[in-house]
Amino acid sequence: MIDKTVPSLSAAVADVHDGATVMIGGFGTAGMPSELIDALIAQGARDLTIVNNNAGNGEVGLAALLKARRVRKIICSFPRQTDSYVFDALFHAGEIELELVPQGNLAERIRAAGAGIGAFFTPTAYGTPLAEGKETRLIDGRGYVLEYPIAADFALIKADKGDRWGNLVYRKTARNFGPIMASAAKCAIAQVREIVALGALDPEVIVTPGIFVQRVVAVDVATQRAQPQAAA
Amino acid sequence: MKRFSREQLAARVARDIPEGAYVNLGIGLPTTVANHLPHDREIFLHSENGLLGMGPAPASGFEDPDLINAGKQPVTLLTGGAYFHHADSFAMMRGGHLDICVLGAFQVSVDGDLANWHTGAKDAIPAVGGAMDLAIGAKRVFVMMDHQTKSGASKIVERCSYPLTGVRCVNRIYTDLAVIDVTPEGLRVVEIVDGLAFDELQRLTGVPLTLAGADSAAGAGRRTVTLSER
């Protein structure tokens, strides 16, 4: 019997190695798998490359991972926020490397990795500083920039419900990067609010089919509610 | 000379958004356009974090941390709205499916180049988000901004001195002084605030402008944009 559920958050992230590339879902705090990140902090892996849209809010979740000095490099589109002071300090001190990627390129590069696409041409950033040094091409008179996929060793994502085959559904805009990050990582780990019986998820509405997911771990709802909400 | 207030500017942009348009309103000033959209038009607001059919902010106490907009503020979903993941959301933007996006700007050039993501300051932490995707992806790109910087320099320039967001991407500029179209023949003024002469607008702008017809705020204000216009 196939059972991708794991008994604990710590078991879910036990084999994340030093130097790993780890995608972390979420847009701000919506969809951020804070409990998995806390487990990763406790686990101790360091020298990580993190892929996320932002660079942490306040001192919870991704910001806490940065504060614990576990991250060598972050690939993101929008690090600077009103409450990104942990990242800001590390950046100004030269203690973290930043690869800034336009948000659509970030999403498409992740999608490309999951879809087996070797590279793609996109008009985004053509003629701007973020395309400097990159291969460009005129296609039908329009300028395009060559972009390469972003793959990961692990993806930590947050979904609403999952089953033992790894099928997932999400909740509202917390979906954001979850489905594409699951497809782009060798090992996708989903924390869910609830693990449901196989067959309980309507096959017509499953968003991430289990083939993209390696581990599912339930998070106690009471724990989630206790998490402080960062300001917008 | 009276200038458009922020509210008037938002209302002026809203008037140019037609029934049935798929629209992305950028973070900051453009977000306020939503407050002025006419209730008798069905307009689809897109937010790049993954929703279409975005509604207004919820009543106090009804915020849902899983339902936010691109500015990470709590919002609602209209009946008929939908959620989707980031690659789908940016396919809508980059694939030319949005009719209009409204963006703020530091500078716009006479060719429609846009600079709105980075001042280029050495110690500034760069952040770009979806600005570059919107700039090149929407069918029409509207910019709303003050006409001049705080020190009085024109924000409409021959060449942008700030790092570019997109090349030749802006279609129309809404400022506190005028509404200006970016055309292959140059900048064409379609509307000026009451009490400001074209010559004075030209002097404050510093790059060549032409006047479309004999426009004033009162006359040209009734002009609306249709989706087929490019």
Determine, for residues A105 and B47 on separate chains, whether the beta-carbon distance falls below 8 Å: no
Determine, for residues A173 and B127 on separate chains, whether the beta-carbon distance falls below 8 Å: no
Domain that holds residue B142: 6-56+66-220
Facing B86 at nearest CB: one of A78, A123, A177: A177
Would A139 be classed as within a structural domain? no
In this prediction, residue A221 has a pLDDT band, given cuts at 50, 70 and 90, of: low
Averaged pLDDT, A206-210: 98
Determine, for residues B72 and A28 on separate chains, whether the beta-carbon distance falls below 8 Å: yes
- The CATH number covering residue A159 comes to 3.40.1080.10
Q: What digits encode the pLDDT tens for the residues B37-47? A: 999 999 999 99
Domain that holds residue A76: 9-120+150-226
Where is average pLDDT lowest: A64-73, A186-195, A222-231, B154-163? Answer: A222-231
pLDDT of B108 reads 98
- Give the other-Cβ count within 10 Å of B77's Cβ: 18
In the predicted structure, residue A177 carries a pLDDT above the cut 70:
yes
Q: How many domains does chain B have?
A: 1
Task: State both tokens at B167.
Answer: 């090349």
Averaged pLDDT, A27-32: 95
The CA angle B41-B44-B49, to the nearest 5 degrees, is: 155
Determine, for residues B66 and A30 on separate chains, whether the beta-carbon distance falls below 8 Å: yes
Q: Does the CB of A191 have a partner CB in chain B at under 8 Å? A: no
In this prediction, residue B169 has a pLDDT band, given cuts at 50, 70 and 90, of: very high
Residue B86, amino acid = H
Percent of chain A with pLDDT over 90: 94
Would B125 be classed as within a structural domain? yes
Would A4 be classed as within a structural domain? no
pLDDT of A150 reads 98
Best probe of the A interface among B85, B107, B161, B169, by most A CBs < 10 A, is B85
- Interface predicted TM-score of the whole assembly (ipTM), two decimals: 0.93
Averaged pLDDT, B56-64: 97
Would A126 be classed as within a structural domain? no
Would A2 be classed as within a structural domain? no
Q: Does the CB of A100 have a partner CB in chain B at under 8 Å? A: yes
pLDDT of B224 reads 37
- Considering only CB atoms, which chain A residues are within 8 Å of B123? 92
Percent of chain B with pLDDT over 90: 88
> Cβ(B91)–Cβ(A114) under 8 Å?
no
In this prediction, residue A222 has a pLDDT band, given cuts at 50, 70 and 90, of: low
Determine, for residues A102 and B132 on separate chains, whether the beta-carbon distance falls below 8 Å: yes
Determine, for residues A128 and B129 on separate chains, whether the beta-carbon distance falls below 8 Å: no
- Considering only CB atoms, which chain B residues are within 8 Å of A103? 48, 86, 90, 128-130, 133
Question: Which phi-psi region, left, alpha or beta, contains residue A174 (left: φ > 0; alpha: ψ -120 to 50)?
Answer: alpha
Q: What digits encode the pLDDT tens for the residues A57-81? A: 999 999 999 999 999 999 999 999 8
CA torsion angle A41 A43 A46 A52 (round to 10): -50
Would A66 be classed as within a structural domain? yes
E runs forming strands in A25-134: 48-51, 71-76, 97-100, 120-122
Task: State both tokens at A122.
Answer: 């996109």
Task: State both tokens at B50.
Answer: 């993954």
Would A133 be classed as within a structural domain? no
Averaged pLDDT, A114-122: 98
Q: What digits encode the pLDDT tens for the residues B85-120? A: 999 999 999 999 999 999 999 999 999 999 999 988
For A89, the enclosing helix (H) or strand (E) is helix A85-92
- The CATH number covering residue B72 comes to 3.40.1080.10
pLDDT of A229 reads 46
What b-and-e string marks burial along B163-175, b requiring 16 or more CB atoms within 10 Å of the CB? bbbbbebbbbbbb
Determine, for residues B65 and A229 on separate chains, whether the beta-carbon distance falls below 8 Å: yes
Averaged pLDDT, B208-229: 55
In the predicted structure, residue B138 carries a pLDDT above the cut 60:
yes
In what side-by-side order are the strands of the sheet with A136-139?
A120-122, A142-147, A136-139
Would B61 be classed as within a structural domain? no
E runs forming strands in chain B: 22-25, 44-47, 51-55, 76-83, 100-103, 107-109, 114-115, 140-144, 156-157, 172-174, 178-183, 186-192, 209-211
Averaged pLDDT, A159-187: 98
- According to DSSP, the residues that pair with A144 across neighbouring strands are A137
Facing B136 at nearest CB: one of A78, A123, A179: A123
Would B193 be classed as within a structural domain? yes
Looking at the annotation, which residues of B are catalytic?
48
- Residue B121 CA to residue B125 CA, distance in Å, equals 9
Chain B residues whose C-beta sits inside 8 Å of any chain A C-beta: 47-51, 64-68, 71-74, 77, 83-87, 89-90, 93-94, 113, 118, 123-133, 136-137, 163-167
CA torsion angle B54 B57 B63 B69 (round to 10): 50
Determine, for residues A29 and B65 on separate chains, whether the beta-carbon distance falls below 8 Å: yes
- Considering only CB atoms, which chain A residues are within 8 Å of B50? 27, 173, 175-176
- Of all residues in chain A, the one with the smallest CA distance to B69 is A173
Q: Does the CB of A122 have a partner CB in chain B at under 8 Å? A: yes
Between A and B, how many CB-CB pairs are < 8 A? 146
Mean pLDDT of chain B: 92
- Considering only CB atoms, which chain A residues are within 8 Å of B67? 30, 172-173
- Of all residues in chain B, the one with the smallest CA distance to A208 is B85
Averaged pLDDT, A153-181: 98
- Considering only CB atoms, which chain A residues are within 8 Å of B82? none
Q: What digits encode the pLDDT tens for the residues B174-218? A: 999 999 999 999 999 999 999 999 999 999 998 999 998 744 444
Q: How many domains does chain A have?
A: 1
Would B82 be classed as within a structural domain? yes
In this prediction, residue B230 has a pLDDT band, given cuts at 50, 70 and 90, of: very low
Would B228 be classed as within a structural domain? no
Residues 135-154 of A with CB under 8 A from B: 143
Determine, for residues B51 and A177 on separate chains, whether the beta-carbon distance falls below 8 Å: no
Facing A104 at nearest CB: one of B64, B71, B133: B133
The CA angle B33-B39-B44, to the nearest 5 degrees, is: 60
Would A125 be classed as within a structural domain? no
Averaged pLDDT, A133-152: 98
Percent of chain A with pLDDT over 70: 95
- According to DSSP, the residues that pair with A75 across neighbouring strands are A51, A99
